[in-house]
A and B are shown apart, each in its own frame.
Chain A
Amino acid sequence: GDVLLPAPQSISILSTNMKHFLTWSPVIVQGATVRYSVELQGEYERDHANGSWIPSSECAPTTATACNVTDDIAASVAYRLRVRAELGAARSPWATTEGFFNRVTTSLTPPVLRVLADGHHLLVELADMGPAFQFQLLYWRKGQENRVQQKVVREVSSVLHLDTMEAGAEYCVKAQAHVEAINRSSSFSPTQCVRAQGGTSLWL
Protein backbone atom coordinates (compact mmCIF):
# COMPACT_ATOMS: atom_id res chain seq x y z
CA GLY A 1 0.00 0.00 0.00
CA ASP A 2 0.95 3.66 -0.31
CA VAL A 3 3.33 5.24 2.16
CA LEU A 4 1.81 7.64 4.66
CA LEU A 5 3.88 10.80 4.15
CA PRO A 6 4.11 13.44 6.88
CA ALA A 7 3.88 17.08 5.85
CA PRO A 8 7.21 18.90 5.58
CA GLN A 9 8.18 20.78 8.74
CA SER A 10 9.97 24.03 9.56
CA ILE A 11 8.84 25.83 6.45
CA SER A 12 9.99 29.43 6.13
CA ILE A 13 10.63 32.16 3.59
CA LEU A 14 14.02 33.74 3.11
CA SER A 15 14.03 36.96 1.07
CA THR A 16 17.09 39.04 0.36
CA ASN A 17 17.56 41.61 -2.41
CA MET A 18 14.28 40.69 -4.06
CA LYS A 19 15.20 37.00 -4.29
CA HIS A 20 12.64 34.91 -2.43
CA PHE A 21 13.06 31.29 -1.32
CA LEU A 22 10.74 28.90 0.48
CA THR A 23 12.66 26.36 2.58
CA TRP A 24 11.59 23.29 4.60
CA SER A 25 12.98 20.26 6.40
CA PRO A 26 13.28 17.05 4.39
CA VAL A 27 10.78 14.22 4.74
CA ILE A 28 12.88 11.07 5.13
CA VAL A 29 11.72 7.72 3.69
CA GLN A 30 14.43 5.08 3.78
CA GLY A 31 15.66 4.06 0.36
CA ALA A 32 13.31 6.40 -1.50
CA THR A 33 13.57 9.79 -3.17
CA VAL A 34 10.89 12.12 -1.88
CA ARG A 35 9.79 15.01 -4.09
CA TYR A 36 8.08 18.22 -3.09
CA SER A 37 5.56 20.49 -4.78
CA VAL A 38 5.18 24.18 -3.95
CA GLU A 39 2.14 26.36 -4.57
CA LEU A 40 1.40 30.05 -3.99
CA GLN A 41 -1.72 32.04 -3.24
CA GLY A 42 -1.71 35.80 -3.75
CA GLU A 43 -4.25 38.25 -2.42
CA TYR A 44 -6.08 37.97 -5.75
CA GLU A 45 -6.47 34.19 -5.46
CA ARG A 46 -7.54 34.49 -1.83
CA ASP A 47 -10.10 37.24 -2.24
CA HIS A 48 -11.21 36.97 -5.86
CA ALA A 49 -10.56 33.44 -7.12
CA ASN A 50 -12.13 31.16 -4.50
CA GLY A 51 -8.92 30.70 -2.51
CA SER A 52 -7.25 28.93 -5.41
CA TRP A 53 -3.52 28.05 -5.44
CA ILE A 54 -1.01 28.48 -8.28
CA PRO A 55 1.74 25.84 -8.80
CA SER A 56 5.21 27.38 -8.57
CA SER A 57 7.20 27.68 -11.78
CA GLU A 58 10.34 26.05 -10.36
CA CYS A 59 9.20 23.36 -7.95
CA ALA A 60 6.35 21.29 -9.28
CA PRO A 61 7.90 18.95 -8.23
CA THR A 62 11.51 19.13 -6.97
CA THR A 63 13.80 16.92 -4.87
CA ALA A 64 15.41 19.97 -3.24
CA THR A 65 14.26 21.33 0.13
CA ALA A 66 14.27 24.93 -1.06
CA CYS A 67 12.31 26.60 -3.85
CA ASN A 68 13.11 29.84 -5.67
CA VAL A 69 9.74 31.60 -5.87
CA THR A 70 11.14 34.93 -7.07
CA ASP A 71 9.44 34.80 -10.48
CA ASP A 72 6.17 33.68 -8.94
CA ILE A 73 5.97 36.62 -6.53
CA ALA A 74 5.74 39.47 -9.04
CA ALA A 75 3.39 41.78 -7.15
CA SER A 76 3.57 43.73 -3.91
CA VAL A 77 0.68 41.96 -2.21
CA ALA A 78 0.46 39.40 0.62
CA TYR A 79 1.18 35.85 -0.49
CA ARG A 80 0.81 32.53 1.28
CA LEU A 81 2.90 29.56 0.23
CA ARG A 82 2.55 25.82 0.82
CA VAL A 83 4.59 22.67 0.17
CA ARG A 84 3.84 18.97 0.32
CA ALA A 85 5.89 15.80 -0.05
CA GLU A 86 5.25 13.31 -2.84
CA LEU A 87 6.41 9.70 -3.28
CA GLY A 88 4.91 7.78 -6.14
CA ALA A 89 1.16 8.28 -5.80
CA ALA A 90 1.42 9.18 -2.12
CA ARG A 91 0.92 12.82 -1.15
CA SER A 92 1.52 14.35 2.25
CA PRO A 93 -0.80 16.97 3.71
CA TRP A 94 0.12 20.54 2.73
CA ALA A 95 2.32 22.56 5.04
CA THR A 96 1.36 26.22 4.73
CA THR A 97 3.35 29.28 5.81
CA GLU A 98 2.16 30.67 9.11
CA GLY A 99 1.70 34.30 8.12
CA PHE A 100 1.81 36.10 4.83
CA PHE A 101 4.80 37.21 2.79
CA ASN A 102 4.94 40.52 0.92
CA ARG A 103 8.03 41.24 -1.12
CA VAL A 104 8.12 44.78 0.24
CA THR A 105 9.71 43.21 3.33
CA THR A 106 12.69 41.78 1.47
CA SER A 107 15.98 42.68 3.17
CA LEU A 108 18.18 44.95 1.09
CA THR A 109 21.96 44.84 1.47
CA PRO A 110 24.25 47.70 0.46
CA PRO A 111 25.72 47.31 -3.06
CA VAL A 112 29.20 45.87 -3.55
CA LEU A 113 31.31 48.70 -4.88
CA ARG A 114 34.90 49.03 -6.10
CA VAL A 115 36.37 52.49 -6.62
CA LEU A 116 39.39 52.95 -8.90
CA ALA A 117 41.62 55.83 -9.89
CA ASP A 118 42.88 55.53 -13.44
CA GLY A 119 45.18 58.49 -13.82
CA HIS A 120 42.82 61.45 -13.39
CA HIS A 121 39.70 59.34 -13.91
CA LEU A 122 37.44 58.32 -11.02
CA LEU A 123 35.99 54.94 -11.96
CA VAL A 124 33.51 52.64 -10.19
CA GLU A 125 32.59 48.98 -10.54
CA LEU A 126 29.19 47.90 -9.17
CA ALA A 127 28.15 44.28 -8.64
CA ASP A 128 24.92 43.45 -10.47
CA MET A 129 22.02 42.85 -8.07
CA GLY A 130 19.37 41.95 -10.61
CA PRO A 131 16.85 43.64 -12.91
CA ALA A 132 14.82 45.15 -10.09
CA PHE A 133 17.73 47.30 -8.90
CA GLN A 134 19.06 50.75 -9.63
CA PHE A 135 21.82 52.56 -7.72
CA GLN A 136 22.46 55.99 -6.27
CA LEU A 137 26.12 56.98 -6.13
CA LEU A 138 27.36 59.89 -4.01
CA TYR A 139 30.91 61.21 -4.59
CA TRP A 140 32.90 64.17 -3.42
CA ARG A 141 36.40 65.52 -3.18
CA LYS A 142 37.87 64.86 0.26
CA GLY A 143 37.66 68.04 2.27
CA GLN A 144 34.77 69.35 0.23
CA GLU A 145 32.06 67.30 1.94
CA ASN A 146 29.60 70.12 1.36
CA ARG A 147 29.83 69.63 -2.42
CA VAL A 148 28.60 66.06 -2.77
CA GLN A 149 27.63 65.02 -6.28
CA GLN A 150 25.04 62.36 -7.12
CA LYS A 151 24.60 59.93 -9.98
CA VAL A 152 21.74 57.44 -10.54
CA VAL A 153 22.69 54.24 -12.34
CA ARG A 154 19.78 52.26 -13.78
CA GLU A 155 21.75 49.51 -15.47
CA VAL A 156 25.01 48.05 -14.29
CA SER A 157 27.74 48.06 -16.94
CA SER A 158 31.33 46.92 -16.44
CA VAL A 159 33.06 50.12 -15.36
CA LEU A 160 31.43 53.49 -14.75
CA HIS A 161 33.28 56.79 -15.22
CA LEU A 162 32.22 59.13 -12.43
CA ASP A 163 34.45 62.16 -12.70
CA THR A 164 37.75 63.63 -13.83
CA MET A 165 39.85 64.31 -10.75
CA GLU A 166 42.31 67.08 -10.02
CA ALA A 167 45.91 65.90 -9.89
CA GLY A 168 46.86 64.49 -6.48
CA ALA A 169 43.43 65.10 -4.96
CA GLU A 170 41.56 62.41 -3.02
CA TYR A 171 37.98 61.54 -3.94
CA CYS A 172 35.44 59.46 -2.01
CA VAL A 173 32.43 57.44 -3.16
CA LYS A 174 29.55 55.56 -1.54
CA ALA A 175 26.47 53.89 -3.03
CA GLN A 176 23.01 52.59 -2.11
CA ALA A 177 20.67 50.26 -3.99
CA HIS A 178 17.06 51.20 -4.80
CA VAL A 179 14.14 48.99 -5.86
CA GLU A 180 11.49 51.00 -7.67
CA ALA A 181 8.89 48.19 -7.55
CA ILE A 182 8.76 48.35 -3.74
CA ASN A 183 10.03 51.94 -3.42
CA ARG A 184 12.73 51.07 -0.89
CA SER A 185 16.50 51.60 -0.68
CA SER A 186 19.37 49.77 1.01
CA SER A 187 21.71 51.46 3.45
CA PHE A 188 24.85 53.01 1.97
CA SER A 189 27.94 50.97 1.26
CA PRO A 190 31.09 51.89 3.22
CA THR A 191 32.81 54.97 1.77
CA GLN A 192 35.84 54.28 -0.41
CA CYS A 193 38.44 56.94 -1.29
CA VAL A 194 41.17 57.00 -3.95
CA ARG A 195 43.84 59.52 -4.90
CA ALA A 196 44.33 60.90 -8.38
CA GLN A 197 47.71 60.51 -10.02
CA GLY A 198 50.14 63.40 -10.00
CA GLY A 199 50.29 66.11 -7.39
CA THR A 200 52.63 68.95 -6.19
CA SER A 201 56.09 68.77 -7.72
CA LEU A 202 59.00 70.42 -5.99
CA TRP A 203 60.64 73.33 -7.94
CA LEU A 204 64.29 73.29 -7.02
Chain B
Amino acid sequence: KLFHFGACRVSLSMTEIRAGFTAIKANIQSRDPVRTLSILSHPHSLHKVKSPDRCCVTHHLFTFYVDKVFKHCKTEDSFVNRKISSIANSFLSARRKLGQCREQNNCVCGEESTEKFKQILANYEGLNVTSAAMKSLGELDILLDWMEKSR
Protein backbone atom coordinates (compact mmCIF):
# COMPACT_ATOMS: atom_id res chain seq x y z
CA LYS B 1 0.00 0.00 0.00
CA LEU B 2 1.16 3.54 -0.75
CA PHE B 3 1.61 5.88 2.21
CA HIS B 4 2.02 9.64 2.01
CA PHE B 5 4.19 10.94 4.84
CA GLY B 6 4.54 14.59 4.00
CA ALA B 7 6.78 14.73 0.93
CA CYS B 8 7.46 10.98 1.19
CA ARG B 9 5.50 8.42 -0.79
CA VAL B 10 6.41 4.97 0.49
CA SER B 11 4.99 1.55 -0.38
CA LEU B 12 4.72 -0.42 2.85
CA SER B 13 3.19 -3.82 3.54
CA MET B 14 1.42 -3.15 6.84
CA THR B 15 -0.98 -6.07 6.55
CA GLU B 16 1.40 -8.54 8.14
CA ILE B 17 2.38 -6.14 10.93
CA ARG B 18 -1.28 -5.53 11.70
CA ALA B 19 -2.06 -9.27 11.61
CA GLY B 20 0.92 -10.09 13.82
CA PHE B 21 -0.07 -7.46 16.36
CA THR B 22 -3.73 -8.45 16.37
CA ALA B 23 -2.68 -12.02 17.20
CA ILE B 24 -0.88 -10.93 20.40
CA LYS B 25 -2.65 -7.66 21.32
CA ALA B 26 -4.77 -9.09 24.16
CA ASN B 27 -1.77 -10.95 25.61
CA ILE B 28 0.48 -7.90 25.50
CA GLN B 29 -2.12 -5.45 26.82
CA SER B 30 -2.89 -7.81 29.72
CA ARG B 31 0.71 -7.32 30.83
CA ASP B 32 0.26 -3.55 31.04
CA PRO B 33 -0.98 -2.77 34.59
CA VAL B 34 -1.00 1.03 34.24
CA ARG B 35 -3.98 1.64 31.95
CA THR B 36 -4.34 5.32 32.80
CA LEU B 37 -1.09 6.34 31.13
CA SER B 38 -0.22 6.44 27.43
CA ILE B 39 3.22 6.53 25.86
CA LEU B 40 2.18 7.64 22.36
CA SER B 41 -0.90 9.75 23.08
CA HIS B 42 0.05 11.70 26.21
CA PRO B 43 -0.52 14.63 26.44
CA HIS B 44 -1.38 15.02 22.75
CA SER B 45 -2.52 12.56 20.12
CA LEU B 46 -0.30 11.65 17.18
CA HIS B 47 -3.06 13.06 15.01
CA LYS B 48 -1.88 16.53 15.91
CA VAL B 49 1.39 15.97 13.99
CA LYS B 50 1.38 18.22 10.95
CA SER B 51 1.41 16.45 7.58
CA PRO B 52 4.85 17.70 6.44
CA ASP B 53 6.35 16.30 9.65
CA ARG B 54 4.83 12.84 9.30
CA CYS B 55 7.76 11.35 7.44
CA CYS B 56 10.25 12.38 10.09
CA VAL B 57 8.04 11.46 13.05
CA THR B 58 7.19 8.05 11.59
CA HIS B 59 10.86 7.31 11.01
CA HIS B 60 11.65 8.39 14.59
CA LEU B 61 8.86 6.17 15.93
CA PHE B 62 10.05 3.15 13.95
CA THR B 63 13.56 3.72 15.36
CA PHE B 64 12.06 4.07 18.86
CA TYR B 65 10.35 0.69 18.55
CA VAL B 66 13.39 -1.05 17.04
CA ASP B 67 15.96 0.39 19.43
CA LYS B 68 14.00 0.65 22.66
CA VAL B 69 10.79 -1.35 22.67
CA PHE B 70 10.97 -4.78 21.03
CA LYS B 71 14.09 -5.94 22.86
CA HIS B 72 12.42 -5.52 26.26
CA CYS B 73 9.29 -7.45 25.31
CA LYS B 74 10.57 -11.01 25.60
CA THR B 75 7.90 -13.25 27.16
CA GLU B 76 7.65 -16.83 28.35
CA ASP B 77 5.28 -17.52 25.44
CA SER B 78 7.09 -18.68 22.27
CA PHE B 79 4.08 -17.83 20.07
CA VAL B 80 4.14 -14.23 21.31
CA ASN B 81 7.92 -14.04 20.94
CA ARG B 82 7.67 -15.24 17.33
CA LYS B 83 5.04 -12.63 16.47
CA ILE B 84 7.15 -9.89 18.09
CA SER B 85 10.11 -11.08 16.02
CA SER B 86 8.05 -10.87 12.81
CA ILE B 87 6.83 -7.38 13.71
CA ALA B 88 10.34 -6.22 14.62
CA ASN B 89 11.80 -7.52 11.36
CA SER B 90 8.96 -5.91 9.40
CA PHE B 91 9.67 -2.62 11.20
CA LEU B 92 13.31 -2.86 10.10
CA SER B 93 12.25 -3.39 6.50
CA ALA B 94 9.80 -0.47 6.63
CA ARG B 95 12.23 1.81 8.44
CA ARG B 96 14.79 1.24 5.72
CA LYS B 97 12.33 2.46 3.08
CA LEU B 98 11.31 5.42 5.23
CA GLY B 99 14.94 6.32 5.83
CA GLN B 100 15.70 6.33 2.12
CA CYS B 101 12.64 8.46 1.44
CA ARG B 102 13.53 10.84 4.23
CA GLU B 103 17.00 11.36 2.83
CA GLN B 104 15.80 11.85 -0.72
CA ASN B 105 13.16 14.38 0.32
CA ASN B 106 15.18 15.92 3.14
CA CYS B 107 12.29 15.49 5.55
CA VAL B 108 12.99 17.38 8.75
CA CYS B 109 10.98 17.48 11.96
CA GLY B 110 9.36 20.76 12.83
CA GLU B 111 9.64 22.18 16.32
CA GLU B 112 6.24 20.90 17.45
CA SER B 113 6.92 17.38 16.23
CA THR B 114 10.36 17.31 17.78
CA GLU B 115 8.68 18.27 21.03
CA LYS B 116 6.07 15.57 20.52
CA PHE B 117 8.73 12.89 20.05
CA LYS B 118 10.63 14.15 23.11
CA GLN B 119 7.38 13.79 25.08
CA ILE B 120 7.02 10.19 23.92
CA LEU B 121 10.56 9.43 25.09
CA ALA B 122 9.84 11.15 28.42
CA ASN B 123 6.67 9.08 28.87
CA TYR B 124 8.75 5.99 28.13
CA GLU B 125 11.58 6.88 30.49
CA GLY B 126 9.04 7.63 33.23
CA LEU B 127 8.26 3.92 33.66
CA ASN B 128 10.47 0.94 34.41
CA VAL B 129 11.81 -0.40 31.14
CA THR B 130 9.74 -3.59 30.90
CA SER B 131 6.47 -1.83 31.73
CA ALA B 132 7.32 0.97 29.29
CA ALA B 133 8.20 -1.50 26.53
CA MET B 134 5.06 -3.61 27.04
CA LYS B 135 2.87 -0.50 27.14
CA SER B 136 4.47 0.84 23.96
CA LEU B 137 4.00 -2.49 22.21
CA GLY B 138 0.40 -2.61 23.41
CA GLU B 139 -0.14 0.80 21.80
CA LEU B 140 1.12 -0.33 18.39
CA ASP B 141 -2.37 -0.07 16.94
CA ILE B 142 -2.39 3.64 17.81
CA LEU B 143 0.68 4.03 15.58
CA LEU B 144 -0.73 1.79 12.85
CA ASP B 145 -4.10 3.61 12.84
CA TRP B 146 -2.32 6.96 12.61
CA MET B 147 -0.19 5.68 9.73
CA GLU B 148 -3.22 4.26 7.92
CA LYS B 149 -4.63 7.79 7.97
CA SER B 150 -1.60 8.72 5.88
CA ARG B 151 -2.70 6.61 2.95
Q: Contact between B15 and A181 (Cβ–Cβ < 8 Å)?
A: yes
Stretch at the interface among B47-55, B83-91, B103-111: B83-91
**A180 an interface residue at 8 Å Cβ cutoff?**
yes
A47 to B1, CA, bound (A): 27
Report B68-88 CB contacts with A as 1/0, cut-off 8 Å.
001100000011011001101
Q: Specify the main secondary structure of chain B where it touches its partner.
A: helix
Query: How many of B's residues come within 8 Å of A, CB to CB?
Result: 22
Q: Contact between B71 and A74 (Cβ–Cβ < 8 Å)?
A: no
Cβ contacts under 8 Å, B92 to chain A: 42-44, 47-48, 75, 77
Q: Contact between B11 and A75 (Cβ–Cβ < 8 Å)?
A: no
Residue of A48, A60, A75 most packed against chain B (CB within 10 A): A75
Residue of A42, A47, A183 most packed against chain B (CB within 10 A): A42
Rounded to whole Å, the gap between the CB of A30 and the closest CB of chain B is 33
Q: Specify the main secondary structure of chain A where it touches its partner.
A: loop
A45 to B70, CA, bound (A): 10
Stretch at the interface among A49-57, A121-129, A135-143, A167-175: A49-57
- Which B residues fall within an 8 A CB radius of A? 1, 11, 13, 15-16, 20, 66-67, 70-71, 78-79, 81-82, 85-86, 88-93
- Which A residues fall within an 8 A CB radius of B? 40, 42-45, 47-49, 54-55, 57, 60, 72, 74-77, 79, 180-181, 183
